Structure 1
C-alpha cells in the first residue's frame, strides 16, 4: 500500500491539472448552477491541497542544505551523488531484464477503442469498473556514491521520480517500465543513520543480556536440556548463574563483532513523517520543480475562486 501511494503521488502529481480540465468540462455539460455550487469549490479545494503538498516539499528541500556524505550529520539530510548497484547484489527489472538500480513497472490491457484510435490506456484507466494494474516497485537497496563515500539507499516509502521510461506491446497488453540507471545522478532527501563500527555501552549490554535471557525463558525445554545439570527438572540458583554467564558471553561476542564491523551509512524514510524523496535532478532542479508545481496549483485555486465570484455576481 505504501508503494502504491508513493507511486500515486510521484507519477500523478500533475494529474490534478487533468482533474481541473475534467471538472470544467463536466461543468459545461451539467450547467452553470451545478458548476458554481459543486465543481468550482471542488477545483478550489484540489488547488489548495495541491499547493500545500508541493509547497511543503519545496520548503523542506530549500531549507535543507546539501551535505557531503563523508561529513553529514546523522538525522534528516539531503545528499547528491551517483546511483550505483551493490557490488554483489545487482538489481534487474522483471519485465525487460535490464540492469538498473531501481525500477517501477506495470502492465495493462488495451481496449478496442484505444487500439482503434492508436491511444494507450493510462495505468489508472478503469476497464469494466475495475483497476487494471498496480505498479510493482523495487524494494531492493542500492548505493549513492558521493566521492569515496558510499551511502546505502533503502527505497521503501520513497517518492521516486525516475528519469527513464519505456513501454511496449505484448499481445493485448502494454508493459511499462520506469527506472533509474547505473551512473545516473541521484538526489536523496531522507533520514541518515549509521550501522556498525560502534561498541555498545553498558546500558545497551545489560538490555541485550536481559533480552537474551527472556528469549531463552520462552523455550523452557531447551533451557533445561542445556543448563539443568542435576536433572531436577528446574533451574536452581547456581544453574541460573551459569545461564546468565552464558547470555553475557554471547552478547559480548555479538557486540565485539559489531564494533569490528566497518560503519555503513543508510538512508531511509524519516520516522517523523517528513517526505522521503528520491530524484535524479540536481538539488536546485528538484526544488524548482516542486515550487513551480505548487504555484500552478495555487493559480488554479485562485482562478477557480475568481470564477466562482464572477458567476455568483452574474447570477445575482
Structure 2
C-alpha cells in the first residue's frame, strides 16, 4: 500500500509538471504561415483537406480523415464494478493542412490529438457494426459494452504544433550512375520492348554497340526525369519533434488544447497530493 502511494505521488507530480510545461509551450509559440514558416518547431493553423484515401470510423462507419476508438466492457466482481478496455486503436493516415499560403502534410504518429468530434455510447455487441448474430451470446448473458470514437473531418479547422520541414526537389542531388541504372532496370523488365527500340540488326539480342546506345539513352532519360522533378513545387511536412517538445493536433483550436493540458495537469497534481497524504497517513499510523 505504501509503495502504491509513493508511485501515485511520483507519477502524478511528473505528469502535472509535464502537462503544465506543454501548455506553456503552446501558449508561448507564435503562429506561422506555411509558406513563410521557419524550419524547426512551429505552430500552424488551417483547414483539413481531403486525403487520397478516405478513412472510415471503425465503430460508426462514418467517413473521416483520422480516427481513434476504444471498446470497453462492464465488469462486476463482488463489490467491484468497472469498465475494462478490450480494444483500442488510432489511424496513422497522413493529414493535409491548408492555409492561405500553401499546404502541409502532417504525420500524426506520436501526436496528442484532441478532436472536436467525440461519440460515446453503449450496446450489447462487442463490435457495433457487425451483424447481431455475432453477439448473440453476449446478448443472452447481458454483456454491456461502451464505445468511444473520435474523428477529424474534411473542412475542419485544425491547430497543429510540431517539427516543420520543407523538402525542395530542386535542391536534391542525384547520383547519375544510380539513376541511369534504375532506368536500365526498368527497361529490362520489358525486354521485348527494349529489343524493339535498340536491336538495330534484328538478331534478337543486344551486341556491344547496341548496349552502349542503351546506356546512353538511359543516362539522357535519367537526366530528363531529374529536370522534370526539379520543377515540382516544394512540399512541407509536420511531424513529431525529436526533442521533448509537445506534438499536438487539435480541432478544438489552440485554446481548447491548452485547457485540456491544464485540466490534466490539475488532475495529476491532485493525484500527487492524494499520494502524499496517503504516505503521511501510513507513516503516522505504522511508525
Does TM, normalized by the shorter one, top 0.5?
A: yes
List gaps (5 residues or longer) in structure 2. Answer: 127-144
Q: Which residue of 1 aligns with 2:150?
A: 178
Which residue of 48, 51, 55 corresponds with 1:91? 55
- What residue ranges of structure 1 are gaps of 5+ in the alignment? 1-34, 127-131
Give the Å deviation of 1:93.
2.3
- The alignment status of 1:152 with 2:105, answered yes or no, reads yes
Aligned to 1:133, the other structure's residue is in SS state strand
Within 1, Cα distance between the matches of 2:70 and 2:286? Answer: 48
2:249 maps to which residue?
278
Aligned runs of 1:292-303 on 2, under 5 Å?
Answer: 292-303=263-274
Distance 1:300 1:168, change over 3 A: closer
Contact 1:66 1:283 in 2 (8 A): no
Partners of 1:190 and 1:276 within 8 A in 2: yes
Aligned length: 258
Residue 188 (structure 1) shift: 0.9
* Aligned pairs for 1:69-148 within 5 A: 69-86=34-51, 89-108=53-72, 113=76, 122=83, 125=84, 132-135=86-89, 137-148=90-101
- Answer whether contact 2:10 2:272 (CA < 8 A) is retained: yes
Q: Which residue of 2 aligns with 1:47?
A: 12
Partner residue, 2:22: 57
**TM-score normalized by structure 1?**
0.63
Structure 1 residues 47 and 95, CA, compared in 2 at 3 Å: closer, same or farther?
A: closer
- Which range is displaced more, 99-108 or 304-313? 304-313
Instruction: Give the whole-Å Cα distance in 2 for the aligned partners of 1:216 and 1:256.
Output: 15
Q: CA RMSD in A?
A: 4.0
- Name the CA distance, whole Å, in 1 between partners of 2:95 and 2:162: 14
CA distance in 1, matches of 2:263, 2:180: 57
Q: 1:303 to 1:96 in 2, by over 3 A?
A: closer
What is the CA distance between 1:187 and its match in structure 2? 1.1
Separation in 1, partners of 2:185, 2:232:
30
Change beyond 3 A, Cα 1:276–1:98 = same
Q: Which has the higher helix share?
A: 1
- TM-score, normalization by structure 2: 0.69
Quick one: structure 1 residues 292 and 107, their matched pair in 2 at CA, closer, same or farther if it must change by over 3 Å? closer
- The answer for the alignment partner of 2:119 in structure 1 is 166
